[in-house]
Structure 1
Amino acid sequence: MVVEQLDKKHQKLKAAHFQSKRIQIINFFKSIDTQESTSALSTGILDDHTHVLSMSENAKIINFWNERNTSEFFIKVQIDTNITPYIVGWQLTPNNDNLMGIVVTTKGMAEKGKKTEILVSFSLDQIKSVAQYWHLMLTVRDHQGQKHITTITKSNWKTKIKLLPDGYRHSKKYKDEVIYPTIQSNMHFVIEARQITKYEQVKYIRRSWQAYSLVLIFLPLIRYLNIWVFFEKNATSAHENAWLTFKRMREMYPQRLIYYAITRDTKSKLNITDKNIIILGTWKYYFIIYLTKLLLSSETRYHVLGDSQFHRSMLVNKMSKKVHIFLQHGMNGIKDVPMFHYGHGQIDFLIAASNWEKELIVKEWHYPDNRVFVTGLPRWDELVPEMFSRNVITFMPTWQPDIANLTQNMFENTAFYKTYKTLFESSQFVNYMSQNNIDAHLILHPKFLRYSQSFKKLKHVTINVSSDITTLISKSQILVTDYSSTAWDSLYLGRKVIFFRYADLHNNNGLNVNMIGTVVNDSASLIAALIESNDHTHSQLESYFEPKSPNNTQRVIEKLMINQKKFKIHTFTYLNRKLIKIIKR
């Protein structure tokens, strides 16, 4: 009887605690609403143009829903009543310039004082998954007849609450596609459209929940079990820093609970046999990742989930509480990577390739000094300078965000593909390669694999996958890239690097690469640079790699073992940590 009373009292206290937190979050979002409205109106009525523009920017989404048995999706927008006479129309616009926008139909208006609520709708059938995000756009015309387009990204607190942790539960599925509204990390409202991934299938979602219910009583033991899980990009590779560290650690500490997560297809393809490999989607995999303390990878933490990382499921939220050690997949500095910056919830601790890189990480990425360990990169232990050949040139273009999710035909019409096709088929390039008996190799970034059929059409160049990087870098006399961190691997060996940055290349702000290589902007300049001698001697670049010494993998493991008392699991999920931080502020 006493136990039952205590249990009831505990449940009441727990309920009161969550109600208090709920009120805090609601008040937080209400305060955001107030701030947004105030900032939008604070510009004042300077003239007709400014007045119309500021009022249209004050629009916000206050509700949404979809019809259960139809493809029609509704959005309710709140806007200043004074702006309604100037409205020209609405449309959904994709983040893919190769696609047309979708006309949005106005279903009705209801004036409520100084505000008007407008109900608009569109058919989900019109949305294509080749665009990742679709934004609601409002077009207005001012007194002078000029049109102004505003992207409606703001939403009220009810909509934000409805969409947290994301809007996947409001999704509509069409064959192999899924479409749903969501709130991005910057709190912007968008419609997301993409392919349904393998590990989002019902059987895997159900298994993940069942596994969680079975390990629930063991969760308090996480810090004592001290399980470590290594992985790489989308859990589909085993050749980067994470795999090399895992392999060496298995030799040094065979009894420790350390595992490597990978897909079944990749394991078979690479013929990996270690007994501590866990296959994505299996019962063993779910048990271990729920109970793991540390995630160690050459990518961001959610790659441990393979292709199911793209919506904030229960599994994603659980992973956000783990300690993530970023083992890098290349030295940084050539391009800016905001996702890796401190406070983005992706990385807790990380290694640095050199003193120079650590200074950059602390200064530019804002990491505390004691969260960055200078070790060198394990992948540098795999480079073999003796393999050098004057007859090999390697091209390694990095991923471009503006060519994501395209069809083969659309990809072949991009500036990226056309530029490389023109280069490899130009008479100057072909003559230079044949006269000097040189083999050209093109390494595909993992995200380019979907366009492999297009790349195979290219002449006078051999197509390679990313697992060939170490061998080709070791052999190559010259590396040609745009922003890839493989440039540092070549420089580490004292080889020549050419940065090919053609006119339409997506801009990445980073290091002034003129200091470490030759920069060219067109095919003619590139061919001239291939012929010229290197402008930078190896001794001039040594300061970027200090302290430079062998056994980088060994140093990584030593740093991990020495600092493991610092690795404390998070009490709250990333979203909760972010909300708590903002509420406190």
Structure 2
Amino acid sequence: MEQKQKDEDIKLKLKKQYPAHVSLKKLSLKNGNLTIEIVVGLLSQQFFTVNEVLLKLRSEASELIHLNVIKKEYRSRNRLKIRAEINLRNIKLQQFFWDFFVSISVDNITREVRVVCDNYLIMKSLKHRVFKNTLKLPDNYISYPYITYNGGVSLTYRQKGHYETTKNKFKEYMAFIIYQLFYRFIGKKVWLIHEKFSETAQDNSFYFFKYCYEKHPEKKVYYVIKKESADVRNLEPFKDRVVHFMSFKHLVYLLSAKVIISSEAKGHGYAWRVSQGIIKEKLNNKSYIFLQHGVLGLKKVDSTFNYQTANSARLFIVSSDFEKKIVKNYFGYPESRISVTGLARWDNLKDTSLSNKEGKSKEIVLMPTWRNWLEEVEETTFLKSNYYISYSQFLNSKELGDLLVQNSLTLNFYVHPKFMPYVEKFSSASKNINIIRFGDESLNHLLMRASLLITDYSSVAWEMYYQKKPVIFYLFDLDEYKANQGAYMNLKKDLFGDLAFKPEELLQQIDTYAKNGFNEKKHFASKRNKYFKYMDQENSKRIYEDIQRNESTFNKKSPVLSQIKNSDALKVAWRKYKYYPSIRKLGEKILGEEKK
């Protein structure tokens, strides 16, 4: 980790010492051959050389693809025009995102500079000429160039999504026409709510929607969910306010909605990973309330939800002043955008675990979280991972099976949704162990029934802690987790449950809790006021009132910098001219004023 920080410091120093700009001037994709034309400019009058043009895998920067440079032409001492190409059919790509860089040398020092797009026509072409710029590859994979939210030029490689068809694109543009003609003038003031991939109705979004439906029926609040989802049954009492995902109605409401409310990123309310088309562009600019999936602390996620990015929220819901500090210090949010209310689903928490007198099997939930370094990897890679091997061996250990039988316990192993492709690989011969697929049972209900939770770094730990039930943190890969993901808390000192680093330690702690009736330890209970500001059933009420209080600002004209970020024409102008000191100074002044 220290070496990684040193490398970052060196990069920052070089960036300040030798500021440069790499601008995309042309891009074409024909028969698998991707050609780009770029201009590299050093902002000082020093001479420089270009070493190569690169594609770097975003999730693993050491994975490089070298483009063939076919032409270099110096325009002046500090400006160089380059044409480079690569045939995408002839290289081995990995999922998902590859970023374009140029390696330059100045005074025998080498640095890499990100290629950005400051050309309005190229940006529009890549956003809207979807099929022209998309290459179809074997096994239903596709690849296409695109412009990131911050203007970087990138390439994606992934499997083609279910909704990426000519029919759906036609539906999107028809929805946009209807919106332009009617809905934007009617002003429906819709609040649109969704959860993970628009597939579930069991998290904070569902319970907040339920509150709005029952307590404020006059409010035009709609819930978005896939028609085939098992959780549609949870929405049966509210079906007049349910909108089916990617239906024509959903697309029109998505365009006209005053605010998007979700326990996940905004992108979960639209076709996942699609970065092209008019809908995604409008969605990025919508006011957004982030209800959160869980409490922050155990997992670093600020790279996804940082302030003033595509996922930036008008209101960021938190549970305590402790959590508020994390959002302020790590995510960059001003205090006015952070709302301390508690999570919506906690209003419905009720301890339904069995008492010792009932003579039935008590339940334990084992729910590990995902690992960013294993997300959507090949199955063979997953099966060789420390993660899979550790949990698989634990579930099949004779010691665990015997312990459960001796204490009349049932262990429910809940597979994280991001690891559902590998769910069939988890099994256990013990009759006291259930392997539960995501969606088969409500996680909320499992946690309410449970007497003990075993997890690693999952935010479900807070759910149990809120219910005053014991938690064991199984941290067998702590060093690897800290290096690849990281946390906002000291995972050895600040947690509110027992720590186990080896399977035998975990088994001993389960046995101890079984013998003491699963009573929470006093020194963990004493920390509760630090981590929760409210422990009542009024979290949804506070969230609703805060949204209402801020609703009048949602359609107000944004500060100048926000308009720059949300207007393609102004974006490219900003990227092109921000390197001039006077313009840069003005932009930084506006940015400073907006953050206040």
Q: Distance in 1 between matches of 2:224 and 2:99?
A: 36
Taking a change above 3 Å as real, the CA distance of residues 255 and 430 of structure 1, as seen in their structure-2 partners, is same
Q: Distance in 1 between matches of 2:143 and 2:480?
A: 30
Taking a change above 3 Å as real, the CA distance of residues 260 and 267 of structure 1, as seen in their structure-2 partners, is farther
**1:197 to partner: Cα distance:** 1.5
User: TM-score, normalized by length of structure 1?
Assistant: 0.77
Q: Distance in 1 between matches of 2:460 and 2:350?
A: 15
| Residue 211 of structure 1: aligned partner | 175
| Residue 517 of structure 2: aligned partner | none
Residues 204-255 of structure 1: per-residue CA shift (max 9 Å, x gap): 1111111211221335436x53221111112111111111121232223334
Letter of the 1:317 counterpart:
E
Verify the 8 A CA contact 1:323 1:570 in the aligned structure 2.
no
| Corresponding residue to 1:357 among 323, 326, 337 | 323
What secondary structure sits across from 1:180 in the alignment?
strand
| Residue 510 of structure 1: aligned partner | 488
Letter of the 1:576 counterpart:
S
| Corresponding residue to 2:451 among 458, 469, 477 | 477
The alignment covers a number of residue pairs equal to 527
Taking a change above 3 Å as real, the CA distance of residues 458 and 366 of structure 1, as seen in their structure-2 partners, is farther
Verify the 8 A CA contact 1:355 1:547 in the aligned structure 2.
no
What secondary structure sits across from 1:73 in the alignment?
strand
Verify the 8 A CA contact 1:298 1:327 in the aligned structure 2.
yes
| Residue 250 of structure 1: aligned partner | 213
1:229 aligned to 2:192? yes
1:408 aligned to 2:408? no
Residues 271-292 of structure 1: per-residue CA shift (max 9 Å, x gap): 6431221112222222222222
Q: Distance in 2 between matches of 1:240 and 1:166?
A: 35
Letter of the 2:17 counterpart:
S
**1:187 to partner: Cα distance:** 4.3
Verify the 8 A CA contact 1:229 1:258 in the aligned structure 2.
yes
What secondary structure sits across from 1:511 in the alignment?
coil
Q: Output aligned runs, 1:279-294, within 5 Å.
A: 279-294=244-259
Q: Distance in 1 between matches of 2:58 and 2:332?
A: 30
| Residue 441 of structure 1: aligned partner | 412
Verify the 8 A CA contact 2:372 2:485 in the aligned structure 1.
no
Residues 380-418 of structure 1: per-residue CA shift (max 9 Å, x gap): 123221325783222222232222232222322233222
| Corresponding residue to 1:332 among 296, 300, 308 | 296
Verify the 8 A CA contact 1:130 1:406 in the aligned structure 2.
no
Verify the 8 A CA contact 1:354 1:374 in the aligned structure 2.
yes
Q: Compare 541-550 and 526-535 and name the one that shifted more.
A: 526-535
**1:269 to partner: Cα distance:** 5.7
Q: Distance in 2 between matches of 1:140 and 1:323?
A: 40
Q: Output aligned runs, 1:367-378, within 5 Å.
A: 367-378=333-344
Verify the 8 A CA contact 1:168 1:182 in the aligned structure 2.
no
Letter of the 2:240 counterpart:
K
Taking a change above 3 Å as real, the CA distance of residues 93 and 253 of structure 1, as seen in their structure-2 partners, is closer
Taking a change above 3 Å as real, the CA distance of residues 136 and 237 of structure 1, as seen in their structure-2 partners, is same
Letter of the 2:333 counterpart:
Y
1:540 aligned to 2:527? yes
**1:487 to partner: Cα distance:** 1.0
Q: Distance in 1 between matches of 2:105 and 2:266?
A: 46
Q: Output aligned runs, 1:81-480, within 5 Å.
A: 83=49, 92-95=55-58, 102=65, 104-107=67-70, 109-110=72-73, 114=77, 119-126=83-90, 130-135=94-99, 153-155=114-116, 157-158=118-119, 162-163=122-123, 169=129, 170-174=133-137, 176-221=140-185, 224-266=187-229, 270=233, 272-273=235-236, 274-307=239-272, 310-338=274-302, 339-346=304-311, 347-388=313-354, 391-456=362-427, 462-465=435-438, 468-480=442-454
Residues 307-347 of structure 1: per-residue CA shift (max 9 Å, x gap): 2x530531122123332122222222222321333322421
Q: Distance in 2 between matches of 1:458 and 1:569?
A: 60
Verify the 8 A CA contact 2:146 2:275 in the aligned structure 1.
no
Q: Compare 480-489 and 262-271 and name the one that shifted more.
A: 262-271
Verify the 8 A CA contact 1:396 1:443 in the aligned structure 2.
yes
Residues 46-98 of structure 1: per-residue CA shift (max 9 Å, x gap): xxxxxxxxxxx979575564452x222234566798757xx6x8765534669
Verify the 8 A CA contact 2:118 2:151 in the aligned structure 1.
no
Verify the 8 A CA contact 2:127 2:277 in the aligned structure 1.
no
Verify the 8 A CA contact 1:165 1:312 in the aligned structure 2.
no
**1:558 to partner: Cα distance:** 4.0
| Residue 516 of structure 2: aligned partner | none
Q: Compare 447-456 and 114-123 and name the one that shifted more.
A: 114-123
Verify the 8 A CA contact 2:413 2:436 in the aligned structure 1.
yes
Letter of the 1:311 counterpart:
S
CA RMSD, 1 decimal = 4.0
**1:132 to partner: Cα distance:** 0.6
| Residue 7 of structure 2: aligned partner | none
Q: Distance in 2 between matches of 1:75 and 1:197?
A: 26
Q: Distance in 2 between matches of 1:127 and 1:450?
A: 26
| Residue 590 of structure 2: aligned partner | none
Percent identical residues: 22
Residues 12-32 of structure 1: per-residue CA shift (max 9 Å, x gap): xxxxxxxxxxxxxxxxxxxxx
Specify every segment of 5 or more residues in structure 1 that has no aligned partner in the other structure, as ranges.
1-35, 44-56
**1:266 to partner: Cα distance:** 1.3
Verify the 8 A CA contact 1:137 1:149 in the aligned structure 2.
no
User: TM-score, normalized by length of structure 2?
Assistant: 0.76
Taking a change above 3 Å as real, the CA distance of residues 171 and 188 of structure 1, as seen in their structure-2 partners, is same
What secondary structure sits across from 1:243 in the alignment?
helix
Letter of the 1:287 counterpart:
V
Verify the 8 A CA contact 2:57 2:97 in the aligned structure 1.
yes
Q: Distance in 2 between matches of 1:522 and 1:59?
A: 50
| Residue 544 of structure 2: aligned partner | 557
Taking a change above 3 Å as real, the CA distance of residues 405 and 200 of structure 1, as seen in their structure-2 partners, is same
| Corresponding residue to 1:576 among 555, 558, 567 | 567
Q: Distance in 1 between matches of 2:158 and 2:182?
A: 36
